[in-house]
Amino acid sequence: MNFFEKSNEIKEYMIDIRRRIHENPELAFDLEDTSKLVKEELDKLGISYTSPIENSVLASLGKGDRTILLRADMDALPIEEENDLDFKSKNQCGHMCGHDFHTAMLLGTAKILKGIEEDLDGVVKLMFQPAEEILKGSEKMIEAGILDNPKVDRAVMVHMDTTRPMGIYIKDGAMATSNNNFRIRVEGKSCHGAMPENGIDAAFVASQIVNGLQEIVSRELSFTKGAVLTTGHIKAGSAPNIIPDKAIIEGTCRTYHEESKKHIQKRIPELSKYIAKAYRADSTFEILSDVPAIINDKDFYKDAIRVLENVKEENKDFNLIDDCEAVTASDDFANVARLVPSLMLMVGCKVENGEVYPLHNGKAIFNEDSIVYGPTTMASLAYDYLKGENK
């Protein structure tokens, strides 16, 4: 079964869906139009589905003892698109992380697999997920039971990457970092800016905490168990001549190592508390997100390499990159991968001409020719697991 050929046959179908979604980006759980589009396409294909949570879709096809889940996230970013495309976003949000591609590619995969449904000795679940960008969607869908009835045995996701040449990228082990977004609130005492002795400067205390937090990653973690800790949002005060009584620090921590993640989670509130006390202030700590790293399953990886090398042997234009570089971003598919043997693969979609912009940039451009790599990969892995030599 040559899924690369089949994917190229439906390339324009997927590009059309991608562009329709791209023009109307929606955020978080508010995906009424996007989820409606997905349901309409599944209806045309004759594929049954449910909505386990708000504006989500869980479709399935095939029957048998084994079950594989294929996942696409559907939400956009609160970023205004800066490109001049015929199908440019019509609102103030943008699909600058490629989730329009993910959704279109999973629908393309559904179209291919529906055509060979009788050959599938098992079940394929198609997970169309909201709210990945706020790291909430997968957890809610798991709580709604998407991994049960029938129980999911393996799971796959693919993600676009505008900085990598066109192809499919895979590696064993750690593929994406954990994500701990956090918030620290500093409580001081306001006063006149010319009389600082009468107050407790929350802005000053916050600046000391920001500096102090870097000690955790530079002096408390092993070189081989490193992490990145970024404080990207600091807010304090309302006027230049008022000592502020409150400050907010928001940041994120990323690492591939669970022990480092736990250590940082423990140390941030300790360090911020005692730095604040040293300057007569108080602080509180809140975790805003807690997503583990994505660790590609070793056995599934071996099967995937075998399958994708066969695809490459059949199709000389198919670009497979093994042992690729992991990504330092995170994805809440990690909640699935924590429970089920899983794979995350990257689809390189770097444009051949013009300046290259990374994901989450308002000027990011995606090479639409790369869209065939999604269904080629997902359909090949699903078919092999449910019908191939692996059985």
Percentage of the chain beyond pLDDT 90 is 98
Tokens found for residue 201: 């400067």
Domain of residue 62: give its range: 3-176+293-387
13 and 91 within one domain: yes
146 and 15 within one domain: yes
Residue 263, marked binder? no
d(CA 225, CA 231): 20
Between CA 24 and CA 232, with CA 176 as vertex, the angle to 5 degrees is 70
pTM: 0.94
d(CA 202, CA 36): 47
74 and 135 within one domain: yes
d(CA 54, CA 33): 12
- Per residue in 344-368, pLDDT (tens digit) is 999 999 999 999 999 999 999 999 9
Contact 126, 59 (CB under 8 A): yes
286 and 336 within one domain: no
Given this model, what pLDDT does residue 390 score? 45
* Closest to 69 (Cα-Cα) out of 330, 255, 343: 343
302 and 284 within one domain: no
Given this model, what pLDDT does residue 76 score? 98
Residue 102, marked binder? no
d(CA 117, CA 62): 6
252 and 357 within one domain: no
- Per residue in 125-147, pLDDT (tens digit) is 999 999 999 999 999 999 999 99
Q: Give the phi and the psi of residue 161 in degrees, each rounded to 5.
A: -145, 110
197 and 163 within one domain: no
Instruction: Out of 290, 325, 350, pick the residue that ends a domain.
Output: 290
213 and 108 within one domain: no
Q: In this structure, what DSSP letter does residue 354 have?
A: S
Instruction: Out of 242, 259, 290, pick the residue that ends a domain.
Output: 290
Residue 133, marked binder? yes
127 and 11 within one domain: yes
d(CA 265, CA 213): 11
- The structural domain count of the chain equals 2
Listed as ranges, residues in the chain with pLDDT below 50 are: 388-391
